[in-house]
Structure 1
Amino acid sequence: MLQLRPGCECCDRDLPADSPDAMICSFECTFCRDCAEHKLHGRCPNCAGELVRRPIRPVATLARHPASHARIHKPAGCA
């Protein structure tokens, strides 16, 4: 199950569980669409994997399986 991390690793922008602007790699590294497209050019700086739109978990399922609260912010790796 995806962790649904709450923020962009580059700019620390909030990315709630229902955000259509959240992008992830296969390791669940999480970035906002702006950073993913303009700074990272569609590649994860951690693993070089493709960044794709993160699926949105249905509200009813979020009650049983909530989004993560763990923030990861590594602006130096996103230059």
Structure 2
Amino acid sequence: MLAMRPNCECCDRDLPPESPEARICSFECTFCADCVEDRLRGVCPNCGGGFTERPQRAARLLAKYPASTARVLKAEGCPPAQAA
């Protein structure tokens, strides 16, 4: 079952379970769409894998299977945004 982490590991943006902006890699590293596109260029800085949109858990199941509340941030930060 996905942990559904509550924030972007780069910018700490809130990513609630229903957020269409959440992106995950195969290890569930979690980032917002803006950081994935602008900073990370589609490559996970933790594992080198790609990203996909995080699935949304049905609201009726969130009470029984809640999303994680543990916030994860990259201690060394993320690379600066790339110039367009």
Structure 1 length-normalised TM? 0.96
Corresponding residue for residue 12 of structure 1: 12
Q: How many residues align?
A: 79
1:52 alignment partner in structure 2: 52
Query: Stretches of 4+ moved more than 3 A in 1?
Result: none
Q: Compute the RMSD of aligned alpha carbons.
A: 1.0
Q: Secondary structure at the match of 2:50?
A: coil
Higher gyration radius (CA) = 2
3-state SS in 2 of match to 1:76: coil
The answer for unaligned runs of 5 or more in structure 2 is 80-84
Q: Deviations over 1:24-74 (max 9, x none)?
A: 000000000000011001110000011110000000111110000010011
Q: Which has the higher helix share?
A: 1
- Residue 49 of structure 2 aligns to which amino acid in structure 1? G
Identical positions, percent:
61
Structure 1: runs of 5+ lacking an equivalent: none
1:77 shift after superposition: 4.2
